[in-house]
Chain A
């Protein structure tokens, strides 16, 4: 093998924090050859991003390279001076980031931001910089590049901004592109086109790519080779096919198992001997619990496009219904109206044949149906009062809606904590002292405290790592079985919906485009949009170690 483009050996990175030195990356080695696409996969805190920042030497002030060597194209990056570094960055190796809108200077025209890089690295002169920048915009497939040259980031969509960031990164034809979660936060369809663009440009220019992601499916789809990181260490590094065919490290196996794919059941996400594995329900749905009839909501004037447009559907007693759609399709508005946090403009919301849509959201707090309608929110951090302990958050509905005595409430909170798998000593903690998974459990415990008959789950696992997601999904399935609740499960992730829902609705622009039983809808979609969504999901190849069983 020839000399690799990137050669990292025994890299260690440390951060100075209030509680002393924390080592974020421990003795990591990594080689990337010219033109190769390598993925680093890991959950939050695994050190995957820090490794790439160290390679670019853009660690923030508190961080430093504590040991090992980082060599790029023969240059010792770890000990390079400022001038060498600024010649390397942007010209030889570039980086693109998560959240593309924030990655651009908000008050500078995007074309000028591309020019800045070109001029800095002597790739253009003042006379021709504009032409070159426009050419670059065309290269990242931006329609009407002349016009877009003078746009500001806030005038462009998220996907478009990511293209601009890519244009800045690739303007000087670097040999290496580092992509740090480049598609997280973008819709699945946008995600796919952005990834295709990166790969195509890389191939065209014979550029190596280091792709950092938490999504095994994404890495499997696009990378030649994958490194799996856990707690700052590389636990396994193999060509993609081999990794999925024969994962050798237990963490890799666990991660592979926890990643939902085409035919896994919810219990398959956890090891066979894990007591938290849920038994999928087989009960048939009962009579209608909730009926939504021609509900419409607009946020603008009467002429504006409705956020939710004459929506009708129903949920049966004990049924789990999935609601799938991309951002802005109206799914959150729908859930807020059903939860009676928002008043519909027209239409009926019947709960056990009682029209609760006529009671205003403001007065619903004291309505008898309040305790039967509960919700688990998308962002576990945002949904907990930062100044309340976990115990107080869980107890709040008990005091308010069940008039529990102190002693009774305390007992109930302890029971609930046990039920959602939250150890007792965590109850006195404040949200910032809990992990993401623990906060999610507090949110679930609070939502089921009053044994509601309908629980809306708004992307309950979107902010969680896959291994935590596996546990939480199993918990949700078990709870539904134990408490006989109906679910309305809102998600953008069809793989997750498949695991927990009996029936699925696909929503777009405020309307339902298609609905039907989960298995048949996801295998034989009839609407084009459903098909596009399904095609855009990256799938990890099923590991050979996992028994293949028919999907439920």
Chain B
């Protein structure tokens, strides 16, 4: 069809200013809300730790040495050492990549599949809507963490299965949200106008409706990232998924838990704090992300 010509902003001058406007808008979003700026800053730190973790850690996260087991935090070992003499600080840093990767992959999968299913269901309705609705209802009929436990237990105790399980329990959020947001707009004036302009259904869905559904989804993505990290760590904590000696925050807390009652608090505290801070960052990031992608916030 001839409909392949893009409907982008037609001149290049406008494009560069559009980018300039985005940068200015980013600056505005940051300065307007200091919490957002803080969240973006923390997020950057986590990203750096995830990418460069192995080079940033002062010690080998797997190197054991019984001579230095269970030492409290010191200059040499900022977060102390564990029962096998491994450096807790190095392990916490190196674990960032795995924890973030599980969460990001799972949420990305849930977002792509869920929002596509939901948007199509919301736009066309009919039997597709009913099938998607039933599928989502069935997933939501379980307490979600329990379902994830069941899936990992049945499918096998691997990191891949943790990712799939986390994706499945996140999927209903996107499917429901995309469905609702598309559904309220599918007969709005601008969609009808687009039909009059000769746009077919799929084109309307992709170029008119989907961009409008994004801002609320950004908040959801951000919240779910935090929740996905908690889920993965929770599964590791009860012995599903990641296995020792792999550094992972949940499993480190689980291992450290045995030493709490004897007073060796640093084993569980630091990975727990890292976990909490990561989730906290994603929870705060949501509103900032929405402000960033929502042109209505631009002035």
User: Which residues of chain A have C-beta atoms less than 8 A from B201's C-beta?
Assistant: 362
A341 to B186, CA, bound (A): 12
Contact check, A403 vs B190: say whether CB atoms are below 8 A apart.
no
Tell me whether A443 is interfacial, beta carbon within 8 Å.
yes
Tell me whether B245 is interfacial, beta carbon within 8 Å.
no
Interface string of B1-34 (1 = CB under 8 A from A): 0110101111100100000000000000000000
Q: CB < 8 Å: which of A365, A410, A430, A446 contacts B11?
A: A410
Tell me whether B243 is interfacial, beta carbon within 8 Å.
no
Contact check, B295 vs A409: say whether CB atoms are below 8 A apart.
no
- Residues of A in contact, count (CB < 8 Å): 46
Contact check, B189 vs A382: say whether CB atoms are below 8 A apart.
yes
List the B residue with the shortest CB-CB distance to A363: B200
Q: CB < 8 Å: which of A377, A405, A430, A446 contacts B197?
A: A446
User: Which residues of chain B have C-beta atoms less than 8 A from A385's C-beta?
Assistant: 190, 194, 208, 211-212
User: Which residues of chain B have C-beta atoms less than 8 A from A409's C-beta?
Assistant: 10
A542 to B256, CA, bound (A): 87
Contact check, A375 vs B196: say whether CB atoms are below 8 A apart.
yes
List the B residue with the shortest CB-CB distance to A381: B189
Tell me whether A339 is interfacial, beta carbon within 8 Å.
yes
User: Which residues of chain B have C-beta atoms less than 8 A from A396's C-beta?
Assistant: 7, 194, 197, 199
Interface string of B234-262 (1 = CB under 8 A from A): 00000000000000000000000000000
Contact check, B298 vs A384: say whether CB atoms are below 8 A apart.
no
Contact check, B198 vs A377: say whether CB atoms are below 8 A apart.
no
Q: CB < 8 Å: which of B8, B14, B198, B298 contacts A401?
A: B198
Contact check, B295 vs A374: say whether CB atoms are below 8 A apart.
no
User: Which residues of chain A have C-beta atoms less than 8 A from B195's C-beta?
Assistant: 341, 361, 364-365
List the A residue with the shortest CB-CB distance to B2: A403
Cβ contacts A to B, 5 pairs, < 8 Å: A370-B198, A375-B196, A377-B192, A382-B189, A391-B9
User: Which residues of chain A have C-beta atoms less than 8 A from B296's C-beta?
Assistant: 386, 430, 432
Contact check, A392 vs B212: say whether CB atoms are below 8 A apart.
no
Contact check, A384 vs B190: say whether CB atoms are below 8 A apart.
yes
Tell me whether A366 is interfacial, beta carbon within 8 Å.
yes
Tell me whether B193 is interfacial, beta carbon within 8 Å.
yes
Tell me whether A395 is interfacial, beta carbon within 8 Å.
yes
A401 to B7, CA, bound (A): 12
Which A residues are within 8 Å of any B CB, using their own CB?
18-19, 336, 339, 341, 361-362, 364-366, 370-371, 373-375, 377-379, 382-387, 389, 391-393, 395-397, 399-401, 403, 405-407, 409-410, 428, 430, 432, 443, 446-447
Contact check, B295 vs A400: say whether CB atoms are below 8 A apart.
no
User: Which residues of chain A have C-beta atoms less than 8 A from B208's C-beta?
Assistant: 385
How many Å from the CB of A116 to the closest CB on chain B?
A: 33
Contacts known (A392-B9, A395-B7, A430-B295); A374 close to B196, Cβ less than 8 A? yes
List the B residue with the shortest CB-CB distance to A362: B201
List the B residue with the shortest CB-CB distance to A336: B192
Contact check, B9 vs A339: say whether CB atoms are below 8 A apart.
no
Contact check, A383 vs B5: say whether CB atoms are below 8 A apart.
no
Tell me whether B66 is interfacial, beta carbon within 8 Å.
no
Given A339-B196, A379-B189, A446-B193: 6 more A-B contacts, CB < 8 Å: A365-B198, A373-B196, A375-B192, A385-B211, A401-B197, A403-B2
Interface string of B265-299 (1 = CB under 8 A from A): 00000000000000000000000000000011011
Q: CB < 8 Å: which of B5, B11, B188, B200 contacts A403?
A: B5
A378 to B187, CA, bound (A): 13
Contact check, B10 vs A410: say whether CB atoms are below 8 A apart.
yes
How many Å from the CB of A163 to the closest CB on chain B?
A: 31
List the B residue with the shortest CB-CB distance to A371: B198
Which B residues are within 8 Å of any A CB, using their own CB?
2-3, 5, 7-11, 14, 188-190, 192-201, 208, 211-212, 295-296, 298-299
How many Å from the CB of B292 to the closest CB on chain A?
A: 13
A360 to B122, CA, bound (A): 20
A46 to B211, CA, bound (A): 35
User: Which residues of chain A have C-beta atoms less than 8 A from B196's C-beta?
Assistant: 339, 341, 370, 373-375, 397, 447
How many Å from the CB of A324 to the closest CB on chain B?
A: 21
Contacts known (A406-B10, A409-B10, A430-B295); A366 close to B198, Cβ less than 8 A? yes
List the B residue with the shortest CB-CB distance to A389: B9
Contacts known (A383-B189, A403-B5); A395 close to B295, Cβ less than 8 A? no
Contact check, B193 vs A443: say whether CB atoms are below 8 A apart.
yes
Contacts known (A377-B193, A385-B212, A395-B10); A365 close to B5, Cβ less than 8 A? no
Contact check, B192 vs A365: say whether CB atoms are below 8 A apart.
no
A336 to B298, CA, bound (A): 34
Contact check, B212 vs A400: say whether CB atoms are below 8 A apart.
no
How many Å from the CB of B63 to the closest CB on chain A?
A: 53
A123 to B298, CA, bound (A): 51
Contact check, B199 vs A400: say whether CB atoms are below 8 A apart.
yes
A16 to B5, CA, bound (A): 46
How many Å from the CB of A399 to the closest CB on chain B?
A: 5
Contacts known (A341-B195, A387-B211, A401-B197); A382 close to B7, Cβ less than 8 A? no
How many Å from the CB of B67 to the closest CB on chain A?
A: 61
How many Å from the CB of B169 to the closest CB on chain A?
A: 30
Contact check, B197 vs A397: say whether CB atoms are below 8 A apart.
yes
Contacts known (A385-B212, A403-B2); A341 close to B198, Cβ less than 8 A? no
Contact check, B14 vs A428: say whether CB atoms are below 8 A apart.
yes
A430 to B8, CA, bound (A): 14
User: Which residues of chain B have C-beta atoms less than 8 A from A384's C-beta?
Assistant: 189-190, 193
Contacts known (A403-B2, A409-B10); A383 close to B198, Cβ less than 8 A? no
User: Which residues of chain B have C-beta atoms less than 8 A from A405's C-beta?
Assistant: 5
How many Å from the CB of A74 to the closest CB on chain B?
A: 45
User: Which residues of chain B have C-beta atoms less than 8 A from A446's C-beta?
Assistant: 193, 197
Contact check, B189 vs A400: say whether CB atoms are below 8 A apart.
no
List the A residue with the shortest CB-CB distance to B214: A387
A6 to B298, CA, bound (A): 42
How many Å from the CB of B48 to the closest CB on chain A?
A: 32
